[in-house]
Structure 1
């Protein structure tokens, strides 16, 4: 990528923006803003902050991340997982919502952003490659289920406390199903019907926005029937104020471990979402650019009273499914949030929560990649097991922990496969030939040594033409086997060894005296 794009990555796509795409992105951004407003307020309260700080986090960091990131559809902002971790990290140090608490949260957010930006600067974004496609499919499916289950109480008009996992939330929901508020269910049903109808009959129109408007109008026109339907809470609006961060050494040292953990959590979450969306839209994702963009967003955001932001599955999926044509849709979303915060706080209070829940359910349905799941089942049952494990982890564990569980499962399956490289066995006269396809590394040494020792031929010939890598453990194992066979008046011969592998084998001290033989 050219150097100017490294500094200003938005120059890659900005020249392709047209008046038509600008209008489309502005409309998509409006839909995203309506969804972001109530969510942001709720997440701020979870983090122990005043409600308006959730809105601040949905403005400046979102603009910076969209312009300096790589994903065409990723939209960030406050998230539930990060809000929970922030509260757990800072609440022991200061009273929630107090000025000291707010100052510590903003400092923590800045430190996490600095850590993220440094990772991007050092080009460590490739670490996300350890998140396999099977993990992404499982995480996407699980996240869709978690988000959908979390919205069912709002759809039914129930006021239930949030739970740490989807399983606990489902059990709590089951205990209160008989208390469903049927006017709320009716509003949700109308919203779903309008959204599906508009998508089917007029696919170019903003179906989700029109559906929210229909649900809101129903409640407004029939107050006698729908007066008790819960609506978004009203709030006092203002633009994000400037904040002076307090960099005292004691606070920095105290918050540093939490900053590293939150920085990693934010990146893993954001990059998982960005990769899942890029897979669906066939976009080429510049991972290091995205990491730097996320870090820069969280470096700049705290100066505008924004706490740590990360990618949002719900808002990003809505952005993609609504037809966003460029990252300007995310920028417009942030600007619409700012305008609503300043001028439209009272209007937002007329949006019924069941209508919001219905829209989110439709978004969750679009996240499920059924063709991808079928293809995974046909191609690899082991990878399908990784997907299923990741999905189950999202339901049984906290969402961010599920990603780590899926990555660990992928690595374990990978190590299991590579620890048993493919072997072909044949005889050339009285000599036995072992053809190895794979790497000779510490995990595969025992497997290969067992096959070498099982041979009774006068000479064991290892055809290493397809061996690209050997580590220290592999070098030692082959030298040991050569000496063992030498004591039995037999020989170990390496044939068609690649130059790099041969060079590694000859580095071992005493290699000149070893009876290991090479043959072209």
Structure 2
């Protein structure tokens, strides 16, 4: 057996020797820009996941370094994301109290299991499996996740405490019962932060609107009299430092409970990451090895939890910034992670001055950025069935747990796909005594009944199937053709396949051999 070479085990050796002082300086500046964007996002995503704020910083360090060095994309930057964070929260919150040690341990175990699933897919070269999660499912899930996240931040906006609920719909009903208890200073501070962030984004699109909003909102809370801000909750304090080592607990009951969510999270992370990586590769004209990227994602999420990092995936905002800022190598992402680590060590005290309503307003800004209205409108114009899949996935995110909503969307996509392929396009015409059917599609178990009904309605002396567009036929299709050929023989008629491709002919002859095969062939 051939052993893998050094560049297969350490893929960064393919590009690292080509770096220079110039490219290193350029990537360092790009990494600084990326770190400035990552800081407020990481803190917000940790709160979405129900984790202490510092865990957002941890997730933006070790997993990012591993994914950059072992991945295939030059510009993909990973880390905590809004959609992944809300799936983590909804998966684990029914099992443990939020912010408890048990809750954090389950999040990290779920991350490891999802990473193991991703890594196995990459090692088995099954990266193409992520294609079963269609773009319509991703759009519907993202739209639903944005609404779920916004609902989840309502208690922080209103300054009230609400018990966690398994679905967005029940959470909304629970929040409605607490509206009379709303803390108006908290709501006013959140509204100021949100309006300021939106104004900055409109007037200066390239400015870090989220960071400016967080800083200005926190300054306003600090400047206001104490009688207005005394009851406004702040980010919980933590000791600054590098990500602490964590020993994972592989309790069998916990593993079995988390396994379905781990598969859903793993697939969602891969779909997000590969979609972003492909889009960037087209713009940068780079070759992308999907299976290597899948392995890198898995490796980052397998090793990350041992350094207190929750599940990471590709970030479109940070990755697009990486490309636009002119990153030369994946070291830009590595530098970004190292600068975040420096902040975790020396800037932790600043986080304790951020009010939770201010952070919630920043998260609402992130939620609005998740909504891709042009893509939704385009989907509605192009495909009604795919638009229905998007709507079904969106509805499922509101009434089901998010990982279940992903499965529901995938099943809906497969249903509509099978419905289309079960009725391949067929053209029918008369050619003398021959009745000709041109079948444009595969003859497989799902399409057999439809095609058999067409064959049984034919009236020509010879029934000719124009087979030039048939690429695949399975056992059910072969058996159906043999059955129909023998039925026609009994009526003194014949079934002929014209211009069939060699693989199709080979499959048909396997059933009874060339001498006994009732189906005739002609060029």
Offset at 1:317?
A: 5.0
CA contact (8 A) 2:44 2:362 kept: no
What do the CA deviations read for 1:434-470 (whole angstroms, capped 9, x no partner)? 1100000111111100010111221111111110111
1:160 maps to which residue? 162
What do the CA deviations read for 1:194-214 (whole angstroms, capped 9, x no partner)? 222322333332221111111
CA contact (8 A) 1:29 1:329 kept: no
- Distance (Å, rounded) in 1 between the aligned partners of 2:115 and 2:379: 36
TM-score, normalization by structure 1: 0.85
Offset at 1:163?
A: 2.1
What do the CA deviations read for 1:95-146 (whole angstroms, capped 9, x no partner)? x737xx9889867755654443222112111100111121121122112222
- Distance (Å, rounded) in 1 between the aligned partners of 2:88 and 2:148: 16
1:469 maps to which residue? 472
Residue 51 of structure 2 is aligned to residue 28 of structure 1: no
- Distance (Å, rounded) in 1 between the aligned partners of 2:300 and 2:480: 50
CA 1:278–1:58: 2 relative to 1, 3 Å: closer
CA contact (8 A) 2:423 2:447 kept: yes
CA 1:319–1:448: 2 relative to 1, 3 Å: same
How many residues end up aligned between the 2 structures? Answer: 501
The residue matched to 1:434 in structure 2 has which SS? strand
Q: For structure 2, which runs of at least 5 residues remain unmatched after alignment?
A: none
Q: How does 1:36-51 map to 2 (within 5 A)?
A: 36-37=42-43, 39-40=45-46, 43=49
1:349 maps to which residue? 352
- Distance (Å, rounded) in 2 between the aligned partners of 1:132 and 1:108: 24
Residue 210 of structure 2 is aligned to residue 204 of structure 1: no
- Distance (Å, rounded) in 2 between the aligned partners of 1:420 and 1:111: 39
- Distance (Å, rounded) in 1 between the aligned partners of 2:128 and 2:274: 12
The residue matched to 1:442 in structure 2 has which SS? coil
Offset at 1:333?
A: 5.5
CA contact (8 A) 1:433 1:462 kept: yes
Q: CA RMSD in A?
A: 3.4
CA 1:216–1:475: 2 relative to 1, 3 Å: same
The residue matched to 2:497 in structure 1 has which SS? strand
1:181 maps to which residue? 183
Structure 1 window deviating more from structure 2 (407-416 vs 505-514): it is 505-514
What do the CA deviations read for 1:331-386 (whole angstroms, capped 9, x no partner)? 45644553344333321111122222222222222222212111111111111101
CA contact (8 A) 1:117 1:291 kept: yes
Residue 436 of structure 2 is aligned to residue 430 of structure 1: no
- Distance (Å, rounded) in 1 between the aligned partners of 2:253 and 2:233: 41
1:75 maps to which residue? 79
CA contact (8 A) 1:219 1:227 kept: no
Residue 307 of structure 2 is aligned to residue 301 of structure 1: no
- Distance (Å, rounded) in 1 between the aligned partners of 2:54 and 2:61: 11
CA contact (8 A) 1:144 1:368 kept: yes
Counterpart selection for 1:500 from 500, 503, 509: 503
CA 1:340–1:227: 2 relative to 1, 3 Å: farther
- Distance (Å, rounded) in 1 between the aligned partners of 2:476 and 2:59: 50
1:267 maps to which residue? 266
CA contact (8 A) 2:200 2:207 kept: yes
CA 1:213–1:332: 2 relative to 1, 3 Å: farther
Q: For structure 1, which runs of at least 5 residues remain unmatched after alignment?
A: none
- Distance (Å, rounded) in 2 between the aligned partners of 1:362 and 1:515: 67
CA contact (8 A) 1:37 1:337 kept: no
1:97 maps to which residue? 101
Counterpart selection for 2:243 from 215, 231, 240: 240
Q: How does 1:481-500 map to 2 (within 5 A)?
A: 481-500=484-503
- Distance (Å, rounded) in 2 between the aligned partners of 1:330 and 1:168: 39
What do the CA deviations read for 1:397-444 (whole angstroms, capped 9, x no partner)? 122221111111111111110000101111011321111000001111
1:515 maps to which residue? 518
Residue 443 of structure 2 is aligned to residue 440 of structure 1: yes
Offset at 1:25?
A: 3.3
Counterpart selection for 1:144 from 146, 156, 162: 146
Q: How does 1:195-234 map to 2 (within 5 A)?
A: 195-224=197-226, 225-234=228-237
CA 1:20–1:173: 2 relative to 1, 3 Å: farther
- Distance (Å, rounded) in 2 between the aligned partners of 1:30 and 1:175: 38
CA 1:12–1:103: 2 relative to 1, 3 Å: same
Counterpart selection for 2:374 from 349, 371, 375: 371
The residue matched to 2:521 in structure 1 has which SS? strand
CA contact (8 A) 2:63 2:78 kept: no
CA 1:391–1:333: 2 relative to 1, 3 Å: farther
